[in-house]
Structure 1
Amino acid sequence: MSNRADRRHFQDLLREHEGIVFKVAGLYAQHAEDRRDLAQEIGLQAWRSFARFDPGKAKFSTWLYRVALNVAISQLRKTSGPGSGRLEPLEQHHLDSLHADPLPEADERLAALYAFIGQLDALNRALILLYLEDKSYAEIADILGISETNVATKIGRIKQTLRGQMTGAAMAGA
């Protein structure tokens, strides 16, 4: 393909899967401007590495998640030093812009879930994002570059911790 055809193909694929970019940017950046900057950086890095994308080895969505999460986690690590403030751990107000209004009876449970997700480190946050996106353990392993066994173990531990926190919160509220 010519460079122009490659660019057009990339733009079409990116447009089709732009939700991935916005979800990842929304999960790792606090302010709207930072989310836009991160989404642009993800797009740029995806374009730079598009020549290495092999449709025979992975779906575009899987490859894009890998690129997006690598960029977001790298940016988080670069900017998370004292006083940086550009990218921060996820908090409830970050998620408000990502989701439609939940049902009123679910508000408290969703708030607790979002708070829990916000406390996770960058890798575990990525794991939960992909898990909540209904990705298989094989897809998650491929995207994050870890084994399926490691994915299953980490997700199991996260679920166990979440159950404990939700049970504890329910008991405290009773």
Structure 2
Amino acid sequence: MTKELEHRFVTELENNQNIVHKVCSLYTNDRDSHNDLFQEITIQLWKAYPKFRGESKFSTWMYRVALNTAITLYRKSKRRVKTQDYDSVIYKIKANEYDDTEERQLKLMYDAIKQLGDIDKAVVFLYLEDKDYREIAETLGISEVNARVKMNRIKNKLRTILNP
């Protein structure tokens, strides 16, 4: 990789790294796993960057690589024994003066989202990032109509999970 290409990659990654962090937050439960996934996604972006043709926005391409990497690693990790994360235990301790209603609602929503399938999680993630259906479709390699249908079905699934 040339120095110019390397510089462009580093600049783009620095400008868009919040995308990778958000994907990591969606697919991990603790700081170490988050950091490991961030590193793995960065490596995959680095390997794939010379093939990036610029036919889509860098951020769209970055979403695709990040989500594909996260989904692949998530599927591998499902074969491991599940343990309870310390952060989820600490969450159950209620602070008296701090109103954590919004935080609890977000946690419930993210817990519900984590129960969805891999592709559904990706659709919700992009939707929550205010991506339009065209960009969701482009990022995931599906039709725009399919993205809309999936989102409507996902909304119904989330309602069922959150209001059993």
Secondary structure at the aligned position of 2:79 is classed as coil
What is the CA–CA distance in structure 2 between the aligned matches of 1:58 and 1:107, rounded to whole Å?
35
Q: Note closer, same or farther for the CA distance 1:29–1:105 as it changes in structure 2 (3 Å cut).
A: closer
TM-score by length of 1: 0.78
Structure 2 counterpart of 1:40, one-letter code:
Q
Q: Provide the residue aligned with 1:14 in structure 2.
A: 13
Deviations 1:39-72 (A, max 9, x none): 11111110111111122x1000000000000000
Q: Find 2:114's aligned residue among 118, 124, 127.
A: 118
5+ residue gaps in structure 1? 97-101, 170-174
**How does the TM-score come out when normalised to structure 2?**
0.83
Question: Does residue 1:160 correspond to 2:156, yes or no?
Answer: yes
The amino acid across from 2:131 in the alignment is: K
Residues matched between the structures, number: 154
Corresponding residue of 1:172: none
Separation in 1, partners of 2:65, 2:46: 10
> 2:3 aligns to what?
4
- SS of residue in 1 equivalent to 2:124: helix
> What's 2:70 paired with?
72
- The offset of 1:147, in angstroms, is 1.3
Uncovered stretches (5+) of structure 2, i.e. residues with no partner: 92-97
C-alpha distance in 1 between matches for 2:24 and 2:78: 15
Q: CA RMSD, aligned part only?
A: 2.5
Distance, in Å, in 2 between the alignment partners of 1:38 and 1:159 is: 27
1:140 corresponding residue in structure 2: 136
CA distance in 2, matches of 1:137, 1:119: 22
Instruction: Establish whether residue 149 from structure 1 lines up as the match of residue 106 from structure 2.
Output: no
- Check 1:81–1:67 CA distance in 2 against 1; reply closer, same or farther (3 A cut): same
Task: Note closer, same or farther for the CA distance 1:35–1:108 as it changes in structure 2 (3 Å cut).
Answer: closer
Aligned to 2:22: 23
Residues 50-69 of structure 1: matches in 2 within 5 Å?
A: 50-55=49-54, 57-69=55-67
Report the CA distance shift for 1:155/1:36 in structure 2 as closer, same or farther (over 3 A).
same
